[in-house]
Structures are given as structure tokens and as C-alpha cells.
């Protein structure tokens, strides 16, 4: 009976022992793999920080390019404005002088013609002074985009003013040619 009892106890221990033997146990780490994993994580962190720096640098460069682009637009608008005002001045200076020197313009029309073209030149000069104030002082506290928009608007206005001057000069030339034709008809001799 003693042998049976010991066998029974040993059987129980074996059952309990085999039950524990089916457990996973302690994990085994390979130190070389763990070290290479840590190195890879460190290298990945370095690359990520470098990418973040690159993204920040590219954002700054994009902002710089946008600023330069806005300045270039402003310069183009200013150049167009100056060219328009130069054309306006030359056109009025040359063509109005030839209109006023015409014998077909009456003395009462002389003051009206010169006054209307003087008003156009004054308006043009006021626009140039306003543009100078916008570009040289920061009193209006405008952004580059607002400044460029205003310059483009002034450019369109100067184009319109130039067109109006050309139309008015053409109208006076038509009046002069009509008066020439009228004089020729009145002074011709009737050959009947």
C-alpha cells in the first residue's frame, strides 16, 4: 500500500508537472537582434527629425517665393502704370498741340480742349502720387496682396484713361476734318 500511495503521489506530481510543462515559460531575447532593433529605431527617429526640418525649410521657401512673386506683380503693375502715364503724356503733348494749332479750332474751343486734357493729366499725376504713397509708406498697412490688387486696379484705370484720351483726340480730329471738308465745299467755285 505504501508503494501504491507513492505511485499515486508521483502520478499526481507528473500530472501537475506536465500541466506546468505546457506553459510558454520565460521569453528568450537575442541581444544582437535587440541592439540592431534599437539602432534602427534611433536611425528612424533621426530621419524623421530631418524630414521635419526639410518640411519646415520648404514651407519657408514657399513663403519666400510667394513674397517675391507678389513683389514682381507689383513691379509689373508699376511698370505698366508708368508706361501708360508716359503714353498719355506723350499723346496729349503731341496730338493736342497739333489739334490746337489747327485753324479749324475756334478760340472758344481752345480753352475747353486744353482744360479737359489738363484735367486728365492732373488725374494721372494724382494717381502716380497715390501709388508712390502706397509703395513707399506703410501708413495704410496693406498686405502685399492688397497692394498688388490696388495696383492692378489703378493699371486698369490708367488703361481706361488712355483709351478716353485717344477717343477724345480722335473726336477732335473728326471735327477738324469735317470743318475742312465743309470749308472746301463752301469755297469751291460752282462750275455750272
User: Under DSSP, is residue 101 helix (H, G, I), strand (E, B) or coil?
Assistant: coil
* pLDDT score of 88: 86
Q: Buried (b) or exposed (e) across 91-121, using 16+ Cβ within 10 A? A: bbeebbeebeeeeebeeeeeeebeeebeebb
pTM of the model: 0.61
Higher pLDDT, 4 or 118: 118
104-107-112-117 Cα dihedral, nearest 10 degrees: 60
How high is the mean pLDDT of the chain?
82
User: Under DSSP, is residue 3 helix (H, G, I), strand (E, B) or coil?
Assistant: helix
Is the model's pLDDT at 18 over the cut of 80? no
Could you tell me the end-to-end alpha-carbon distance of the chain, in angstroms, rounded to an integer? 171
Per-residue pLDDT reduced to its tens digit, 160-177: 988 998 899 899 899 989
Torsion-angle region of 25 (φ positive above 0: left; ψ -120 to 50: alpha; else: beta): left
What's the rounded mean pLDDT across residues 130-148?
76
Amino acid at each position: 500500500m505504501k508503494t501504491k500511495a507513492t505511485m499515486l503521489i508521483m502520478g499526481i506530481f507528473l500530472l501537475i508537472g506536465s500541466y506546468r510543462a505546457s506553459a510558454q515559460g520565460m521569453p528568450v531575447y537575442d541581444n544582437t537582434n535587440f541592439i540592431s532593433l534599437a539602432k534602427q529605431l534611433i536611425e528612424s527617429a533621426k530621419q524623421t527629425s530631418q524630414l521635419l526640418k526639410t518640411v519646415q525649410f520648404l514651407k519657408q521657401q514657399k513663403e519666400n517665393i510667394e513674397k517675391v512673386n507678389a513683389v514682381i506683380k507689383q513691379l509689373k503693375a508699376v511698370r505698366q502704370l508708368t508706361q501708360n502715364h508716359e503714353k498719355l503724356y506723350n499723346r496729349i503733348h503731341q496730338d493736342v498741340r497739333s489739334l490746337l494749332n489747327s485753324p479749324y479750332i475756334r478760340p472758344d474751343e481752345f480753352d475747353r480742349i486744353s482744360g479737359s486734357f489738363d484735367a486728365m493729366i492732373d488725374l494721372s499725376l494724382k494717381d502716380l502720387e497715390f501709388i508712390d504713397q502706397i509703395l513707399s509708406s506703410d501708413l495704410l498697412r496693406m498686405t502685399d496682396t492688397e497692394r498688388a490688387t490696388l495696383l492692378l486696379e489703378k493699371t486698369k484705370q490708367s488703361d481706361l484713361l488712355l483709351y478716353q484720351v485717344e477717343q477724345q483726340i480722335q473726336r477732335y480730329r473728326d471735327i477738324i476734318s469735317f470743318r475742312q471738308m465743309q470749308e472746301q465745299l463752301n469755297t469751291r467755285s460752282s462750275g455750272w
